[in-house]
Amino acid sequence: MIKKILFVLLGAFLMLLTILLVNTFRLDNTQIEAELNQPVDRNPDVMLNRFSRALQYQTISGDMGDQRNMDEFYEFLDFIDSEFPLVHQQLRHTRFNDLTPLYFWEGSNPDLDPILLMGHYDVVPVDSTDLDEWLHEPFSGAVEDEYIWGRGTLDNKFNVMMLLESVEYLLENDYQPERGIYMVFGHDEEIGGDDGALAVSQFFQEQDTRLHFVLDEGGLVIDGVLPTDRPIAIIGIAEKGYLSLELVARSSGGHSSTPPSDKSIIKLSNALIKLEQNPFPARIDGATELMFDSIGNKLPFGLQMMYGNRWLTEGMIKNRMSRDRSSSALIRTTIAPTMLRAGVKDNVLPTEARAVVNFRILPGDTFESIKDHVRTVIDDESITIREYDTISTRPSAVSSVEGSVYQALQESIMSHFQNVYVSPYLVVGATDSRHFIPIADNVYRFSPIEMNNEDLGIIHGINERIGVDNYLNSIRFYVDFIQKTTQ
């Protein structure tokens, strides 16, 4: 009897092992091979000098309502007009709210929907207390040690300048696109894009303009972040939504010498602790699922087996991803208390305590489901919950990874970088591209630069910089991609 049971158990084990192995080896290979694309015959010293000077304009967008130095913005726009004469002379162009330029390169076939290429030239402020830690002045544009240094090198003047260099080069070489090309360079992306990209999108909608696709910042080539034998070029095919809620707790207040049991700060603190202890449930779907489908068979064998058999291991995968803040953000709506305010004096109990909690919303969740979760978890009717008066955007739809545009993007990436894998990706931040979702079925987010873990930490940070070769070589990518998608 015992032998029969052992044989049954052995048979069941072998059957399970067979299923696991079959599912593992069935993971598709979505990667392609591509020939190296042609170099761009432009003087590298001239291009570097132009980029260096572009970084010296302090086009800073601070918090909402902060006063900008408008002269810096206008001078930057005059600078690009003078430095890219063919773009300025041959492309139709206008400015929205005086500061966001829109260029149009008319295609030879007006029946084809145009494409939209994007960047933004506003940058975040530099913390004055960090200045001593910068190896070069934040707005110096210094070219030293094989890097270009300064605020905007990574976010996002490099996109603006690379696109302009690429289009100027194509104009010099008499390229004529069959499909029209729009370029828009926002001046207020860092504070929401309402006066820039959103204004352009509203104009397009009024004109019934439909876009073939949009390409903006958001993805890049990352090395050492995932356990693969090559860097991975991640293409943002969706982005999370953005919502902030303000929680307000009230009490009778009073003197600190005789504190009541009902304290606004304690009520608010308890609410925040409950939110921290009750995260949104994890889901592996949409763009994140497509990412794993794309690179699943490039992971170490144990992880291949785990992902290939999600019917059995999904809980393990979620637990593993939840332990890392970057991967956790890919599988759930995140909760982040960001602002607190209460009290006016150390011996006075405040009658009111306020907190702002920011949510980055996973596609599939909604504003309404976020609010329902918060109400249910806090479970305190005395705490007022309302939308905070700032940016709020719903999560985007997921763009196709099957069509010709994604294929062209993958081919251009492989042609440019060669030894990389290409994968779709969920962008956890927000980009100006979200404003164009109503008029484009496919919105992609990718910039052709290589970064590692250390580099990721300097976006918006101290010693922001980009490698000289990284910058120069990326112009070749745009030249190739523009031709692939407009012929």
Distances in Å between the Cα of 460 and the Cα atoms of 137, 154, 193, 465, 477 are: 14, 8, 17, 10, 24
Distances in Å between the Cα of 378 and the Cα atoms of 276, 282, 374 are: 10, 20, 6
Measuring CA to CA, which residue among 401, 406, 395, 426 is closest to residue 236? 426
Q: How many CB atoms lie within 10 A of CB 397?
A: 16
Choice among 83, 165, 168, 189 that is catalytic:
189
CA dihedral of residues 30, 34, 36, 42 (deg, nearest 10): -70
Give, rounded to a whole angstrom, the gap between the first and last alpha carbons of the chain: 73
122 is catalytic: yes
Phi, psi (degrees; rounded to nearest 5) at 3:
-60, -40
The alpha helices in 207-285, defined as continuous H runs, are: 264-277
Dihedral over Cα of 70, 142, 156, 131: its sign: negative
The alpha helices in 195-263, defined as continuous H runs, are: 197-206
- Percentage helix, strand, coil, to 5, in the chain? 40, 20, 40
CA angle 166, 168, 174 (to 5 degrees): 105
Contact 343, 265 (CB under 8 A): yes
276 is catalytic: no
Distance CA 367, CA 168 (A): 43
Q: How many CB atoms lie within 10 A of CB 21?
A: 13
CA angle 113, 115, 118 (to 5 degrees): 155
CA angle 289, 291, 292 (to 5 degrees): 70
Contact 475, 162 (CB under 8 A): yes
Choice among 122, 165, 411, 432 that is catalytic:
122
Q: Maximum Cα–Cα distance for the chain, whole Å?
A: 90
Q: How many CB atoms lie within 10 A of CB 210?
A: 12
Point out which residues pair with 349 in neighbouring strands.
Answer: 254
- The residues that are catalytic are 122, 189
